[in-house]
Structure 1
Amino acid sequence: MDITNTPTPLALTKEDTIEELNDVTRLMIDSFKGYKDAADEADDSWALKADFDQRATVRSRHIAAIQNYVRELGGEPSTHGTMRGAVHRGWMNFANVFRDDEKGAIESVENGETFLAHRIEDCIEDGQLDAVGTQLLKQAHQDVCSSARHFDRLDG
Protein backbone atom coordinates (compact mmCIF):
# COMPACT_ATOMS: atom_id res chain seq x y z
CA MET A 1 0.00 0.00 0.00
CA ASP A 2 1.47 3.36 -1.05
CA ILE A 3 0.87 6.00 1.60
CA THR A 4 3.53 8.43 0.37
CA ASN A 5 1.36 10.60 -1.91
CA THR A 6 -2.06 10.86 -0.33
CA PRO A 7 -4.47 13.53 -1.67
CA THR A 8 -6.01 15.97 0.80
CA PRO A 9 -9.66 17.00 0.47
CA LEU A 10 -10.47 20.68 0.00
CA ALA A 11 -12.89 20.93 2.95
CA LEU A 12 -10.47 19.64 5.57
CA THR A 13 -10.99 21.08 9.05
CA LYS A 14 -8.96 21.05 12.24
CA GLU A 15 -11.71 18.94 13.79
CA ASP A 16 -11.21 16.28 11.10
CA THR A 17 -7.51 16.09 11.86
CA ILE A 18 -8.09 16.05 15.63
CA GLU A 19 -10.67 13.28 15.35
CA GLU A 20 -8.47 11.08 13.17
CA LEU A 21 -5.37 11.64 15.29
CA ASN A 22 -7.28 10.87 18.49
CA ASP A 23 -8.67 7.68 16.97
CA VAL A 24 -5.17 6.46 16.12
CA THR A 25 -3.81 7.68 19.46
CA ARG A 26 -6.25 5.42 21.33
CA LEU A 27 -4.99 2.44 19.33
CA MET A 28 -1.37 3.46 19.89
CA ILE A 29 -2.04 3.63 23.63
CA ASP A 30 -3.41 0.09 23.37
CA SER A 31 -0.19 -0.88 21.59
CA PHE A 32 1.97 0.80 24.25
CA LYS A 33 0.09 -1.06 27.00
CA GLY A 34 0.41 -4.28 25.00
CA TYR A 35 4.18 -3.86 24.90
CA LYS A 36 4.29 -3.25 28.65
CA ASP A 37 2.17 -6.37 29.27
CA ALA A 38 4.33 -8.39 26.87
CA ALA A 39 7.45 -7.24 28.75
CA ASP A 40 5.88 -8.57 31.95
CA GLU A 41 5.23 -11.93 30.25
CA ALA A 42 8.84 -12.15 29.04
CA ASP A 43 10.34 -12.52 32.50
CA ASP A 44 12.49 -15.49 31.45
CA SER A 45 14.12 -13.66 28.55
CA TRP A 46 15.96 -10.47 29.46
CA ALA A 47 16.59 -9.66 25.77
CA LEU A 48 12.94 -10.04 24.81
CA LYS A 49 11.82 -8.02 27.84
CA ALA A 50 14.28 -5.25 26.89
CA ASP A 51 13.00 -5.35 23.30
CA PHE A 52 9.37 -4.93 24.42
CA ASP A 53 10.31 -2.14 26.84
CA GLN A 54 12.32 -0.29 24.18
CA ARG A 55 9.45 -0.49 21.69
CA ALA A 56 7.02 0.76 24.36
CA THR A 57 9.30 3.76 24.89
CA VAL A 58 9.40 4.54 21.16
CA ARG A 59 5.63 4.13 20.92
CA SER A 60 5.12 6.53 23.83
CA ARG A 61 7.16 9.16 21.95
CA HIS A 62 4.88 8.88 18.92
CA ILE A 63 1.84 9.15 21.20
CA ALA A 64 3.24 12.26 22.90
CA ALA A 65 4.04 13.92 19.56
CA ILE A 66 0.51 13.33 18.29
CA GLN A 67 -1.06 14.46 21.56
CA ASN A 68 1.03 17.65 21.51
CA TYR A 69 -0.08 18.40 17.96
CA VAL A 70 -3.74 17.85 18.86
CA ARG A 71 -3.25 20.43 21.64
CA GLU A 72 -1.65 22.83 19.15
CA LEU A 73 -4.77 22.49 17.00
CA GLY A 74 -6.89 23.43 20.01
CA GLY A 75 -8.18 19.93 20.67
CA GLU A 76 -8.21 17.65 23.68
CA PRO A 77 -5.92 14.67 22.99
CA SER A 78 -6.95 11.11 23.77
CA THR A 79 -5.22 9.77 26.86
CA HIS A 80 -6.83 6.35 27.14
CA GLY A 81 -6.85 3.26 24.98
CA THR A 82 -9.90 1.47 23.64
CA MET A 83 -12.20 -1.05 25.30
CA ARG A 84 -11.27 -3.46 22.50
CA GLY A 85 -7.60 -3.16 23.44
CA ALA A 86 -8.34 -3.80 27.11
CA VAL A 87 -10.40 -6.86 26.24
CA HIS A 88 -7.67 -8.14 23.91
CA ARG A 89 -4.99 -7.76 26.59
CA GLY A 90 -7.22 -9.49 29.13
CA TRP A 91 -7.85 -12.38 26.75
CA MET A 92 -4.13 -12.73 26.00
CA ASN A 93 -3.33 -12.78 29.71
CA PHE A 94 -5.91 -15.52 30.22
CA ALA A 95 -4.74 -17.49 27.16
CA ASN A 96 -1.09 -17.25 28.22
CA VAL A 97 -1.86 -19.20 31.39
CA PHE A 98 -2.34 -22.25 29.14
CA ARG A 99 0.72 -21.93 26.88
CA ASP A 100 4.24 -20.56 26.55
CA ASP A 101 3.98 -16.95 27.81
CA GLU A 102 6.73 -15.54 25.60
CA LYS A 103 5.34 -17.07 22.41
CA GLY A 104 1.88 -15.78 23.30
CA ALA A 105 3.26 -12.31 24.02
CA ILE A 106 5.05 -12.23 20.65
CA GLU A 107 1.93 -13.37 18.79
CA SER A 108 -0.21 -10.82 20.59
CA VAL A 109 2.15 -7.94 19.80
CA GLU A 110 2.52 -9.04 16.18
CA ASN A 111 -1.26 -9.18 15.70
CA GLY A 112 -1.73 -5.81 17.37
CA GLU A 113 0.97 -4.15 15.28
CA THR A 114 -0.52 -5.51 12.05
CA PHE A 115 -3.96 -4.17 13.01
CA LEU A 116 -2.50 -0.78 13.97
CA ALA A 117 -0.50 -0.51 10.73
CA HIS A 118 -3.66 -1.10 8.68
CA ARG A 119 -5.63 1.44 10.72
CA ILE A 120 -2.92 4.09 10.25
CA GLU A 121 -2.86 3.38 6.50
CA ASP A 122 -6.64 3.79 6.35
CA CYS A 123 -6.44 7.05 8.27
CA ILE A 124 -3.78 8.49 5.96
CA GLU A 125 -5.62 7.36 2.84
CA ASP A 126 -8.94 8.84 4.05
CA GLY A 127 -7.42 12.29 3.54
CA GLN A 128 -8.86 13.72 6.77
CA LEU A 129 -5.47 14.89 8.04
CA ASP A 130 -3.55 18.09 7.49
CA ALA A 131 0.09 17.92 6.38
CA VAL A 132 1.55 17.78 9.90
CA GLY A 133 -0.93 15.12 11.04
CA THR A 134 -0.13 13.08 7.94
CA GLN A 135 3.60 13.33 8.61
CA LEU A 136 3.19 12.31 12.26
CA LEU A 137 1.19 9.25 11.25
CA LYS A 138 3.63 8.31 8.50
CA GLN A 139 6.43 8.32 11.08
CA ALA A 140 4.35 6.21 13.46
CA HIS A 141 3.45 3.87 10.57
CA GLN A 142 7.13 3.25 9.80
CA ASP A 143 7.73 2.31 13.44
CA VAL A 144 4.66 0.06 13.60
CA CYS A 145 5.56 -1.76 10.36
CA SER A 146 9.13 -2.24 11.54
CA SER A 147 7.88 -3.75 14.80
CA ALA A 148 5.39 -6.01 13.01
CA ARG A 149 8.15 -7.35 10.72
CA HIS A 150 10.49 -7.84 13.68
CA PHE A 151 7.98 -9.87 15.67
CA ASP A 152 6.90 -11.81 12.60
CA ARG A 153 10.53 -12.99 12.27
CA LEU A 154 10.65 -13.93 15.96
CA ASP A 155 7.36 -15.82 15.72
CA GLY A 156 8.32 -17.70 12.55
Structure 2
Amino acid sequence: MKYTEKISNKLNDLLILTYDAKRGYKLAAEKVDNPAIKKFLEDKANQRHNFGHELKSEIVEYGNLPEDSGSIKGDFHRAWMKFVTTISSSESERMLEEVNRGEKKILNSYNDILNNKEWILPNTTRDLLSKQRDAIKSALETSKMYEEVVS
Protein backbone atom coordinates (compact mmCIF):
# COMPACT_ATOMS: atom_id res chain seq x y z
CA MET A 1 0.00 0.00 0.00
CA LYS A 2 1.29 3.45 -0.90
CA TYR A 3 2.27 5.95 1.77
CA THR A 4 -0.53 8.35 0.76
CA GLU A 5 -3.09 5.55 0.93
CA LYS A 6 -2.00 4.59 4.44
CA ILE A 7 -2.36 8.16 5.66
CA SER A 8 -5.67 8.60 3.84
CA ASN A 9 -7.01 5.43 5.44
CA LYS A 10 -6.02 6.68 8.89
CA LEU A 11 -7.58 10.07 8.17
CA ASN A 12 -10.75 8.34 6.97
CA ASP A 13 -10.82 6.39 10.25
CA LEU A 14 -10.70 9.73 12.10
CA LEU A 15 -13.37 11.13 9.80
CA ILE A 16 -15.72 8.26 10.65
CA LEU A 17 -15.11 8.84 14.37
CA THR A 18 -15.73 12.55 13.80
CA TYR A 19 -19.09 11.80 12.16
CA ASP A 20 -19.94 9.61 15.15
CA ALA A 21 -18.89 12.31 17.63
CA LYS A 22 -20.95 14.96 15.84
CA ARG A 23 -24.06 12.78 15.96
CA GLY A 24 -23.37 11.84 19.58
CA TYR A 25 -23.06 15.47 20.61
CA LYS A 26 -26.28 16.34 18.78
CA LEU A 27 -28.14 13.52 20.49
CA ALA A 28 -26.75 14.47 23.88
CA ALA A 29 -27.78 18.11 23.33
CA GLU A 30 -31.33 16.96 22.61
CA LYS A 31 -31.45 14.96 25.85
CA VAL A 32 -30.25 17.58 28.37
CA ASP A 33 -32.19 20.44 29.90
CA ASN A 34 -29.36 22.50 31.40
CA PRO A 35 -28.89 25.46 29.01
CA ALA A 36 -25.13 25.76 29.57
CA ILE A 37 -24.54 22.06 28.97
CA LYS A 38 -26.88 22.08 25.96
CA LYS A 39 -24.93 24.99 24.42
CA PHE A 40 -21.61 23.25 25.10
CA LEU A 41 -22.87 20.07 23.40
CA GLU A 42 -24.27 21.99 20.41
CA ASP A 43 -21.00 23.90 20.05
CA LYS A 44 -19.03 20.64 20.06
CA ALA A 45 -21.36 19.14 17.43
CA ASN A 46 -20.65 22.17 15.22
CA GLN A 47 -16.94 21.88 15.94
CA ARG A 48 -16.95 18.24 14.87
CA HIS A 49 -18.82 19.24 11.71
CA ASN A 50 -15.97 21.63 10.93
CA PHE A 51 -13.38 18.98 11.81
CA GLY A 52 -15.06 16.70 9.28
CA HIS A 53 -14.69 19.28 6.52
CA GLU A 54 -11.05 19.81 7.39
CA LEU A 55 -10.35 16.08 7.36
CA LYS A 56 -12.20 15.65 4.05
CA SER A 57 -10.06 18.36 2.47
CA GLU A 58 -6.90 16.72 3.78
CA ILE A 59 -7.95 13.32 2.42
CA VAL A 60 -8.66 14.84 -0.99
CA GLU A 61 -5.19 16.44 -0.91
CA TYR A 62 -3.78 12.91 -0.72
CA GLY A 63 -5.77 12.01 -3.84
CA ASN A 64 -8.33 9.80 -2.15
CA LEU A 65 -12.05 9.93 -1.44
CA PRO A 66 -13.33 10.71 2.05
CA GLU A 67 -15.82 8.46 3.82
CA ASP A 68 -19.36 9.76 3.89
CA SER A 69 -20.87 8.25 7.03
CA GLY A 70 -20.22 7.12 10.57
CA SER A 71 -19.67 3.66 11.93
CA ILE A 72 -21.97 0.89 13.08
CA LYS A 73 -20.26 1.11 16.49
CA GLY A 74 -21.25 4.78 16.59
CA ASP A 75 -24.85 3.86 15.76
CA PHE A 76 -24.87 1.34 18.61
CA HIS A 77 -23.33 3.88 20.99
CA ARG A 78 -26.05 6.44 20.17
CA ALA A 79 -28.73 3.76 20.63
CA TRP A 80 -27.18 3.01 24.02
CA MET A 81 -27.24 6.73 24.86
CA LYS A 82 -30.96 6.83 24.08
CA PHE A 83 -31.59 3.75 26.18
CA VAL A 84 -29.69 4.91 29.26
CA THR A 85 -31.57 8.18 29.36
CA THR A 86 -34.80 6.23 29.75
CA ILE A 87 -33.51 4.50 32.90
CA SER A 88 -31.22 7.16 34.37
CA SER A 89 -32.33 9.74 36.92
CA SER A 90 -29.85 12.33 35.65
CA GLU A 91 -29.91 12.64 31.87
CA SER A 92 -27.27 15.38 31.86
CA GLU A 93 -24.84 13.35 33.92
CA ARG A 94 -25.38 10.18 31.87
CA MET A 95 -25.06 12.02 28.54
CA LEU A 96 -21.82 13.63 29.69
CA GLU A 97 -20.48 10.23 30.77
CA GLU A 98 -21.20 8.84 27.30
CA VAL A 99 -19.69 11.90 25.61
CA ASN A 100 -16.55 11.44 27.71
CA ARG A 101 -16.33 7.79 26.76
CA GLY A 102 -16.53 8.65 23.05
CA GLU A 103 -14.06 11.52 23.35
CA LYS A 104 -11.49 9.30 25.05
CA LYS A 105 -11.74 6.84 22.17
CA ILE A 106 -11.27 9.47 19.48
CA LEU A 107 -8.47 11.11 21.47
CA ASN A 108 -6.62 7.78 21.53
CA SER A 109 -7.06 7.49 17.76
CA TYR A 110 -5.55 10.93 17.21
CA ASN A 111 -2.64 10.10 19.50
CA ASP A 112 -2.04 6.79 17.70
CA ILE A 113 -1.70 8.58 14.38
CA LEU A 114 0.36 11.48 15.72
CA ASN A 115 2.72 9.21 17.66
CA ASN A 116 3.14 6.56 14.96
CA LYS A 117 6.82 6.10 14.15
CA GLU A 118 6.17 4.19 10.89
CA TRP A 119 5.68 7.33 8.86
CA ILE A 120 6.42 11.01 8.97
CA LEU A 121 3.32 13.13 8.57
CA PRO A 122 3.61 16.27 6.47
CA ASN A 123 3.57 19.39 8.63
CA THR A 124 0.16 20.47 7.34
CA THR A 125 -1.40 17.15 8.33
CA ARG A 126 0.42 17.03 11.68
CA ASP A 127 -0.63 20.61 12.48
CA LEU A 128 -4.26 19.92 11.58
CA LEU A 129 -4.42 16.73 13.64
CA SER A 130 -2.63 18.34 16.59
CA LYS A 131 -5.04 21.28 16.54
CA GLN A 132 -8.06 18.98 16.45
CA ARG A 133 -6.64 16.67 19.12
CA ASP A 134 -6.00 19.63 21.43
CA ALA A 135 -9.57 20.85 20.93
CA ILE A 136 -10.85 17.37 21.78
CA LYS A 137 -8.72 17.34 24.95
CA SER A 138 -10.18 20.70 25.92
CA ALA A 139 -13.74 19.48 25.25
CA LEU A 140 -13.09 16.41 27.36
CA GLU A 141 -11.87 18.54 30.27
CA THR A 142 -14.89 20.83 30.01
CA SER A 143 -17.24 17.88 29.78
CA LYS A 144 -15.69 16.36 32.93
CA MET A 145 -16.16 19.69 34.69
CA TYR A 146 -19.84 19.79 33.73
CA GLU A 147 -20.25 16.18 34.80
CA GLU A 148 -18.89 17.00 38.26
CA VAL A 149 -21.30 19.92 38.56
CA VAL A 150 -24.39 17.86 37.72
CA SER A 151 -23.48 14.77 39.75
TM-score by length of 2: 0.89
Higher alpha-carbon deviation: 93-102 or 127-136: 127-136
Aligned AA (1:73): Y
Stretches of structure 1 that go unaligned for 5 or more consecutive residues are 1-10
Corresponding residue for 2:136?
144
Aligned AA (1:30): D
Of 83, 95, 100, 1:105 maps to 95
Corresponding residue for 1:63?
52
Aligned length: 145
Does residue 38 of the first structure (1) align with residue 28 of the second (2)? Answer: yes
Aligned AA (2:8): I
The answer to whether the 8 A contact 1:29-1:63 is kept is: yes
Corresponding residue for 1:28?
18
Higher alpha-carbon deviation: 29-38 or 120-129: 120-129
Give runs of aligned pairs for residues 107-122 of structure 1, distance below 5 A: 107-122=97-112
Stretches of structure 2 that go unaligned for 5 or more consecutive residues are none
Q: What SS does structure 1 have at the residue aligned with 2:64?
A: coil
- Identify if the C-alpha distance between structure 1 residues 12 and 136 changes in structure 2 by more than 3 Å, giving closer, same or farther: farther
Of 124, 130, 139, 1:132 maps to 124
Measured in 2, the distance between the counterparts of 1:139 and 1:103 equals: 28
The answer to whether the 8 A contact 1:66-1:133 is kept is: no
Aligned AA (1:66): L
The answer to whether the 8 A contact 2:37-2:146 is kept is: no
Corresponding residue for 1:47?
36
Of 66, 69, 91, 1:80 maps to 69
Corresponding residue for 1:95?
84
Measured in 2, the distance between the counterparts of 1:130 and 1:17 equals: 10
Tell me the CA shift for residue 12 of structure 1: 7.0
Corresponding residue for 1:123?
113
Measured in 1, the distance between the counterparts of 2:136 and 2:3 equals: 27
Tell me the CA shift for residue 130 of structure 1: 3.1
The sequence identity of aligned pairs, in percent, is: 24
